[in-house]
């Protein structure tokens, strides 16, 4: 699928700069969901059809991150998947995480009740901070609050050298940043943002090396080898592959997810990356946001957790999300008043550029903020 063809799947992207909050549904997803709803209303819900949509969705996601469907589990929330990973770690293990990463990524370790030691360091220091006692490095590939992109190669190299496992959350990355599931022991991705799915579908990809350590803590009927034969009693045989980590699917959500995931799996994500980060770059230029070459005063820079950090508005790696200091929310209010959908997180204004946006959206946002445009 070409980017141009994919664009015809969206009709409401003008002024919508919030894929980092929630994506826009594709027109094919809308049609499929309405058709499904109509069938149910008329007395013909289709559980077998839902199960087929789940398996096709699993396969599309596998293709998107270059793995096999047998390594992909389905779930509904990030934190539930993360809690499985927490349960796989020895009691008292150290988990290294970025400072202020998204709570669903880090809280399951804090509250695992197994004495895990969660150590937070600035994202830029994550690779350097992997120590001999680190059992797991857990991080979002792209930070929700700042849009910063993790240096995957450096982090996974450092973890491998120290014998630590890696878990990434790709929720803010998959759909615009090319990803290889085999780079990580675990990759978790909620699909309602950049993959434009209905909310309620979170995939977990587990490596064959780490999978045996993970307990099927949330097993229900869908974790069985044959879900429909696994509905009763304690003697259920769990699936031999990653499906043993499945929880039962949010059926209607998968009806809409399937066409969206098919589209993203068939897209050249490198092309989407160029499109999205190109728009973000032109917005940054128009805003006069710093280029990262020196210290600056845009909010998150300075000394945090005893370590010097540079301004996070300056991406070391190109990002589709641009954030800047907006402590009183004035810039977000200006964008909103101009009819632009943006967001504010942790005292920062946040805009996101995705495939349904173009240069006119950049110009509209800059104009609303009284910058060039
Ligand atoms: C990095 C990241 N992970 C996950 C999520 C979603 O978490 P959950 O599935 O718990 O709703 C978000 C939502 O903003 C996010 O930014």
pLDDT at 109: 98
pLDDT at 316: 85
Residue 252 CB–ligand 1 contact under 6 Å: no
Q: Say how far apart CA 175 and CA 91 lie, in whole Å.
A: 35
Mean pLDDT, the chain, rounded, equals 93
The DSSP secondary structure of 257-291, one letter per residue, reads HHHHHHHHHHS-HHHHHHHHHHHHHHHHHHHT---
Could you identify the residue written with the tokens 């190669």?
Answer: 153
Q: 299 and 325 in contact (C-beta within 8 Å)?
A: yes
Give the atom of ligand 1 at the shortest distance from the alpha carbon of 192.
Answer: 6
Residue 345 CB–ligand 1 contact under 6 Å: no
Residue 307 has pLDDT above 50, yes or no: no
Candidate from 1-5, 39-43, 104-108, 354-358 with smallest mean pLDDT? 1-5
Residue 144 CB–ligand 1 contact under 6 Å: yes
The stretch 244-262 carries a mean pLDDT of: 98
Kindly report the protein residue whose alpha carbon is nearest to atom 12 of ligand 1: 171
**308-319 pLDDT per residue, tens:** 444 444 568 999
Kindly report the protein residue whose alpha carbon is nearest to atom 10 of ligand 1: 78
To test the pocket of ligand 1, the residue of 104, 149, 189, 200 to mutate (highest count of ligand atoms within 8 Å of its CB) is 104
* C-alpha neighbours within 13 Å on the C-beta side of residue 298: 23
Residue 313 CB–ligand 1 contact under 6 Å: no
Q: 120 and 254 in contact (C-beta within 8 Å)?
A: no
To test the pocket of ligand 1, the residue of 108, 169, 170 to mutate (highest count of ligand atoms within 8 Å of its CB) is 169
Residue 216 has pLDDT above 90, yes or no: yes
**138-197 pLDDT per residue, tens:** 999 999 999 999 999 999 999 999 999 999 999 999 999 999 999 999 999 999 999 999
Q: 92 and 135 in contact (C-beta within 8 Å)?
A: no
Note if the pTM is more than 0.75: yes
Continuous segment of H or E residues that includes residue 132 = none
Q: Say how far apart CA 224 and CA 202 lie, in whole Å.
A: 19
Determine how many CB atoms are found less than 10 A away from the CB of residue 369.
23
Q: 216 and 223 in contact (C-beta within 8 Å)?
A: yes
Residue 190 CB–ligand 1 contact under 6 Å: yes
* Residue 90 C-alpha from the chain's centroid: 26
Distance 174 CA to ligand 1 centre (A): 12
Give the atom of ligand 1 at the shortest distance from the alpha carbon of 142.
Answer: 1
Residue 78 CB–ligand 1 contact under 6 Å: yes
**C-alpha distances out from residue 243 to 126, 218, 249, 310, 332, Å:** 31, 11, 12, 42, 42
* β-strand partners of 137: 96, 166
Residue 138 CB–ligand 1 contact under 6 Å: no
Return the beta strands (E) in 76-213 as ranges.
94-98, 117-121, 134-140, 165-169, 186-190, 202-206
């Amino acid at each position: 699928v070409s980017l141009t063809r994919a664009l015809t799947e969206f009709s409401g992207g003008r002024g919508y700069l919030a894929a980092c909050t929630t994506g826009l549904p594709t027109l094919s997803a809308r049609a499929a969901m309405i058709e499904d709803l109509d069938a149910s209303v008329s007395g013909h819900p289709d559980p077998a059809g839902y199960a087929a949509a789940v398996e096709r969705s699993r396969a599309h996601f596998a293709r998107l991150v270059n793995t096999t469907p047998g390594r992909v589990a389905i779930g509904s929330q990030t934190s539930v998947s993360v809690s499985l990973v927490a349960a796989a770690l020895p009691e008292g293990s150290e988990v290294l995480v970025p400072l202020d990463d998204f709570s669903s990524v880090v809280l399951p370790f804090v509250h695992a009740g197994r004495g895990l030691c969660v150590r937070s360091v600035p994202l830029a220091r994550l690779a350097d901070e992997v120590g001999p006692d680190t059992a797991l490095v857990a991080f979002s590939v792209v930070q929700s609050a700042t849009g910063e992109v993790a240096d995957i190669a450096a982090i996974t190299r450092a973890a491998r050298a120290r014998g630590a496992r890696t878990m990434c959350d790709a929720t803010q990355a998959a759909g615009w940043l090319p990803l290889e599931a085999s780079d990580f022991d675990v990759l978790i991705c909620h699909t309602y943002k950049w993959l434009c799915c209905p909310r309620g579908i979170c995939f977990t990809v587990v490596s064959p090396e780490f999978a045996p350590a993970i307990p099927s803590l949330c097993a229900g009927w869908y974790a069985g080898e044959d879900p429909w034969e696994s509905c009763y009693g304690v003697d259920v045989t769990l699936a031999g592959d990653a499906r043993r980590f499945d929880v039962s699917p949010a059926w209607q959500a998968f009806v809409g997810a399937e066409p969206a995931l098919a589209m993203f799996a068939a897209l050249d994500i490198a092309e989407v990356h160029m499109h999205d980060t190109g728009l973000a770059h032109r917005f940054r230029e128009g805003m006069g946001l710093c280029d990262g070459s020196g210290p600056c005063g845009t909010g998150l820079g300075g000394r945090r957790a005893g370590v010097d950090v540079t301004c996070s508005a300056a991406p070391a790696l190109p990002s589709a999300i641009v954030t800047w200091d907006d402590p009183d929310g004035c810039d977000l209010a200006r964008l909103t008043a101009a009819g632009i959908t943006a967001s504010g997180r942790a005292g920062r204004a946040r805009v996101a550029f995705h495939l349904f946006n173009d240069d006119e959206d950049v110009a509209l946002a800059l104009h609303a903020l009284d910058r060039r445009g």
